[in-house]
Structure 1
Amino acid sequence: MSDSENKKIKGLFNMGDFGNYFVRVFQKPDPNQKSNYNLRMMHGINKISIVVFLLAIIFWIVKRFI
C-alpha cells in the first residue's frame, strides 16, 4: 500500500477533537491544570452517559441476533 492510500484509510477513522474527547474523559486529570467542581461533575456525568450508551448498544445487538 502506498503512503497516500494509508493516509486515506487513516482519514476515514479520524474523529478529530470529537473522538479525542472520549479518550480524554476517561483519563486522570492533569494535576497542574486548575479544575473546579462543575467541570468534574460534567465529566463524571459524561462518563456515566458513555458507559450506559455502550451497554445499551451491546444489549441491543445481543437481543437482535440471539
Structure 2
Amino acid sequence: MKGLFNLGPVFGYFFRKNDPNRTSNFNLRTMHFINKLSMAMFLVGFLVLLYRWFLR
C-alpha cells in the first residue's frame, strides 16, 4: 500500500534533464509534451475536486 502513493517518479518525469545519448525527434518530443500536459491537467482537476469536496 505504501508504494501505491509514491509520486516521486511522476515529479521526476517533469523535471528530468535531457539524455545526450538518446536520439530525439519531433514525434518523441511531441509525445512527451502531451504526456506532461495531460498529467498536469489531471492533477489540476484532482485538486479542484478535492477543493470542492472538503472546503465547501
TM-score for both structures, normalised by structure 2: 0.72
User: What value does the CA root-mean-square deviation take over the aligned residues?
Assistant: 2.4
After superposing on structure 2, the runs of 4+ consecutive aligned residues of structure 1 that deviate more than 2 Å are 22-25
2:13 aligned partner: 25
**Unpaired segments of 5 or more residues in structure 2?**
none
Q: 1:65 to 1:14 in 2, by over 3 A?
A: closer
Aligned residues: 52
TM-score for both structures, normalised by structure 1: 0.63
Structure exhibiting the larger radius of gyration computed from Cα positions: 1
Q: Which has the higher contact order (CA 8 A, sep 6+)?
A: 2
**Unpaired segments of 5 or more residues in structure 1?**
1-8
